[in-house]
Structure 1
């Protein structure tokens, strides 16, 4: 046996060396959403031994009306919606039943439960064609999460689910659910974002789709909206973005983040520990307040710019939701950390009931997560790192960071100038989660990947991330406005500009915005496509031609901005052409397009792609827009001579003094 083990380790080492120059294929662990194989085995053993508190949790779960194999399916429907409500309760009830029957099948081996879960998943995946309404993102992020978890359990527990049905269900999740949540909900409170994130992660795993999984993971750690980890749990004390709204939504938001962390854990990633256990701090803060104790509170504006809460809300205080067992058992019993308030909250409502209302969250945590201290999943070779982020500066090269892998002792960073390699080792034996590549050449695009290692062997390579050092050749960045505002950052990944900026505006005497620019020919054109979605709902962004970088320089700008109508939830988004010459005291609104509508704006939200173009021919500057990049509508023209060596580029402002926005552009061309 020792000989075979040694031979296997030698072979793993050999393969690692041979494949070091290539991007090794990654694979997901299955079942690997809220429950993995070890979880199911742990629960089965505890139930058989009538071990408490698991057994009491099982009795609650088993007795629930939606855990019965005699459950009468309420759907399916071709279309469901939220605000206006169409079949929301029907879908959510069936999603609950699908998940609960799938889990009881896995725990008991009784085929009738598997059959019921298969019936429900098949019915909805073959019938549902659309999710509609103003709150469609939220609906698609809640009930479908349970449906995907049911499907994951059924697929990997020999339930008898046919290959054809599995393939159809994969297509359903990709084509009906995913498009609704793919751009998250940066216009809303954070529980919307976090619901979209967890369902997207689940779809990525079930469909074995690494880009979908990585999209959700990147948003968790670095998303622009209220629901990303550091935008939701806003400080080290654990205060949450919705703490000033009410306690019910706050508990829901952190519960979604917890589900993301649990799925990450089952895929070998330690999201729980991210940002110095920020998730735990959010739970401790929220549990402490809802147990009747005081907590510090700092008035804060959210990332949309719409929600300003001056004090912590007492609405719903003391009504503990069934979300605490998962977090308590991870931090205390898996990791050996202290979580006194989370523990007290879990004990107060033990055994946890179903997560209510509807399909808001799973609940039943006493059954699902209770474990003895020190118990954990089986140790294996580390999974591949994930969630790679790349940042760049004009002087210090590129900085690459990633999410920690469970059990990894060190990491190896690799680099290529081509997406698919070959990759060469840039640095090995990295013990942290960040590396600065100071040898990257300015203006050159690089692709980075990372692998993890422990004493058992090395992982596959992470899904790569790309970055152009500094900016593309001949492109630069500047902050336009008083006092060096608005600060922020900008990166180009070889395809897309991502610009973060504060600033009060682009169309006023006191301009404040981020300008990413290059030079413009005497007869030249810039074209760019806005990539949804924007975070601050007061943002202005677009294209500009300027004579220089001083605030007072002549400027022509084609800007997308909201119309201030006193209704922050329903702004009217316009495309406007401005000309300004502060030296002459002239600021003109030259032309304005119609209020934007579908497919660019839906329910007053910038959810669709939108193309912008500025063209200079002699003294005439003309502005155009397009919804498809093919058919262009003229916004207006300016007849004003701008000096020959003008600057042209992308402009972004949040429209707020203290809150930045994030805007993305691709298909940027200047000729």
Structure 2
């Protein structure tokens, strides 16, 4: 299993979002960052007190998927409509939905680079995905057995785990910590009883949040996945301070992960990264010295890690939208361009010689549904290449890390 390496939202926005959503519904029904660099962002990210992003009251369930989204999915599955019916069948046939699954918690999850050693790393990630899968299955079927299985998995881990260790600990915590709150939000706010939900909250607060809340200056997918975990955990814990801190990290990292020509000759750098000078930036961008709109900091590493970063960006923006503090307007152009740029080559376009030496490795994985649905279906933005790739990959399954069943949950979902 490949992991990271150890080198480490004016009224205009509201109106745009509302118009896009209305159109979608109608369709369904018929480097040290200097102040000047900060100011160059388009649109400008808020700063100071105005940067507060946490809602006065959190929406539940509200991590990646909302109740209206879940209701839409349930209705489409019950109507045997596509692509949701096939996506649901895919999920229910997976090992993650097995009611005989036995959780494998441990006190210390030790994960080295590329999960070597792998002492509980795969077990933790897959048990988290299983808990989320069972929570989705519960909501769609209303079969108590799935809710109880989700609870059993979460309870098993909250009773045992104490820490993550070794070099991949921050990334491992980010991946598992991104998925646990999705499951927990659905169960806590749609199922009748979860006696140990408080213990689970304590686990998130003491084992996961401290490991991810301060971000990372490793490759961008690390900090983005860790920030996704921090955002989701903050929603479940109703922790306004941590939510705001994670959003601030997100606002600094996204412009440093996806390049736009408007950034200038060189990509932006994440606050506090210490990166300075062309040579250091080129090295951090995997040796790529020609910068083009839509390129990501990890495109020339491989498309798989690029997919991790793009996916986490979309997940965070989606959760923020559910929480009523929509981050999509701030990052929509970067997300659109990144999706389209990578999708073009995934769909077979020739790679030019000035891009990663003329070849790209691996594939994005099942990571386009959330961003595509938000930007194209809700906001009405044309995304030809991303649409083609998204439809080609349906139903999108799981990457067995932190992405799971997004054709089911977000495919053409107007809610």
Q: TM-score, normalised by structure 2?
A: 0.75
The DSSP-based 3-state class of the residue aligned with 1:321 is: coil
For the pair 1:367 / 2:398, whether they are aligned, the reply is no
**Could you tell me whether the CA contact under 8 Å between 2:131 and 2:154 is conserved in 1?**
yes
Tell me the alpha carbon deviations over residues 467-507 of structure 1, each in whole angstroms, 9 at most, x when there is no partner: xxxxxxxxxxxxxxxxxxxxxxxxxxxxxxxxxxxxxxxxx
C-alpha distance in 2 between matches for 1:25 and 1:51: 35
C-alpha distance in 1 between matches for 2:372 and 2:331: 18
Q: Give the match for residue 152 of structure 2.
A: 119
1:82 to 106, 111, 116: 111
Q: Give the match for residue 29 of structure 1.
A: 59
Structure 1 residues 77 and 39 mapped into 2: Cα distance closer, same or farther (>3 Å)? same
Match runs of 1:535-574 below 5 Å: none
1:93 to 114, 126, 132: 126
**Could you tell me whether the CA contact under 8 Å between 2:351 and 2:360 is conserved in 1?**
no
The DSSP-based 3-state class of the residue aligned with 2:164 is: strand
Q: Give the match for residue 602 of structure 1.
A: none
1:58 to 88, 113, 117: 88
Q: Tell me by how many angstroms 1:123 deviates.
A: 1.1
2:170 to 137, 150, 159: 137
Q: Tell me by how many angstroms 1:159 deviates.
A: 3.9
Structure 1 residues 286 and 66 mapped into 2: Cα distance closer, same or farther (>3 Å)? same
C-alpha distance in 1 between matches for 2:326 and 2:249: 15
Structure 1 residues 176 and 311 mapped into 2: Cα distance closer, same or farther (>3 Å)? same
**Could you tell me whether the CA contact under 8 Å between 1:239 and 1:297 is conserved in 2?**
no
**Could you tell me whether the CA contact under 8 Å between 2:150 and 2:183 is conserved in 1?**
yes
Q: Give the match for residue 255 of structure 1.
A: 311
C-alpha distance in 2 between matches for 1:312 and 1:26: 49
What is the number of equivalent residue pairs in this alignment? 327
| Unmatched runs of 5 consecutive residues or more in structure 2 | 1-53, 262-292
Structure 1 residues 230 and 333 mapped into 2: Cα distance closer, same or farther (>3 Å)? same
The DSSP-based 3-state class of the residue aligned with 1:127 is: coil
C-alpha distance in 2 between matches for 1:141 and 1:351: 25
1:268 to 314, 317, 324: 324
C-alpha distance in 1 between matches for 2:231 and 2:250: 10
**Could you tell me whether the CA contact under 8 Å between 2:147 and 2:191 is conserved in 1?**
no
Structure 1 residues 140 and 314 mapped into 2: Cα distance closer, same or farther (>3 Å)? same
The DSSP-based 3-state class of the residue aligned with 1:289 is: helix
**Could you tell me whether the CA contact under 8 Å between 1:61 and 1:353 is conserved in 2?**
yes
For the pair 1:197 / 2:253, whether they are aligned, the reply is no
C-alpha distance in 1 between matches for 2:390 and 2:221: 21
Higher helix share: 2
Q: Give the match for residue 8 of structure 2.
A: none
For the pair 1:231 / 2:253, whether they are aligned, the reply is no
For the pair 1:315 / 2:371, whether they are aligned, the reply is no
Q: Tell me by how many angstroms 1:108 deviates.
A: 1.1
The DSSP-based 3-state class of the residue aligned with 1:80 is: strand
Tell me the alpha carbon deviations over residues 264-290 of structure 1, each in whole angstroms, 9 at most, x when there is no partner: 111113222214521111111111122
Q: Tell me by how many angstroms 1:332 deviates.
A: 1.6
Q: Tell me by how many angstroms 1:197 deviates.
A: 0.5
C-alpha distance in 2 between matches for 1:272 and 1:280: 10
The DSSP-based 3-state class of the residue aligned with 1:172 is: helix
For the pair 1:330 / 2:363, whether they are aligned, the reply is no
Q: Give the match for residue 207 of structure 1.
A: 237
For the pair 1:284 / 2:313, whether they are aligned, the reply is no
C-alpha distance in 2 between matches for 1:196 and 1:33: 14
Q: Give the match for residue 152 of structure 1.
A: 185
Q: Give the match for residue 639 of structure 1.
A: none
C-alpha distance in 1 between matches for 2:359 and 2:307: 13
Structure 1 residues 40 and 189 mapped into 2: Cα distance closer, same or farther (>3 Å)? same
Q: TM-score, normalised by structure 1?
A: 0.47
Tell me the alpha carbon deviations over residues 54-109 of structure 1, each in whole angstroms, 9 at most, x when there is no partner: 11111111111111222222x11111021033211111121111110011111111
C-alpha distance in 2 between matches for 1:213 and 1:362: 21
The DSSP-based 3-state class of the residue aligned with 1:131 is: strand
Q: Give the match for residue 69 of structure 1.
A: 99
The DSSP-based 3-state class of the residue aligned with 2:65 is: coil
**Could you tell me whether the CA contact under 8 Å between 2:173 and 2:212 is conserved in 1?**
yes
The DSSP-based 3-state class of the residue aligned with 2:109 is: strand
Structure 1 residues 297 and 40 mapped into 2: Cα distance closer, same or farther (>3 Å)? farther
C-alpha distance in 2 between matches for 1:280 and 1:128: 38
Q: Tell me by how many angstroms 1:110 deviates.
A: 0.6
Tell me the alpha carbon deviations over residues 352-392 of structure 1, each in whole angstroms, 9 at most, x when there is no partner: 122x2x32x323221111226xx3x3xxxxxxxxxxxxxxx
Structure 1 residues 65 and 131 mapped into 2: Cα distance closer, same or farther (>3 Å)? same
Higher strand share: 1
C-alpha distance in 2 between matches for 1:351 and 1:268: 29
C-alpha distance in 1 between matches for 2:357 and 2:302: 11
C-alpha distance in 1 between matches for 2:227 and 2:365: 20
The DSSP-based 3-state class of the residue aligned with 1:66 is: helix
Higher relative contact order (CA closer than 8 Å, sequence separation 6+): 2
C-alpha distance in 2 between matches for 1:77 and 1:212: 26
Structure label with greater radius of gyration: 1
**Could you tell me whether the CA contact under 8 Å between 2:55 and 2:323 is conserved in 1?**
no
**Could you tell me whether the CA contact under 8 Å between 2:108 and 2:162 is conserved in 1?**
yes
Structure 1 residues 171 and 311 mapped into 2: Cα distance closer, same or farther (>3 Å)? same
* CA-based RMSD: 1.9
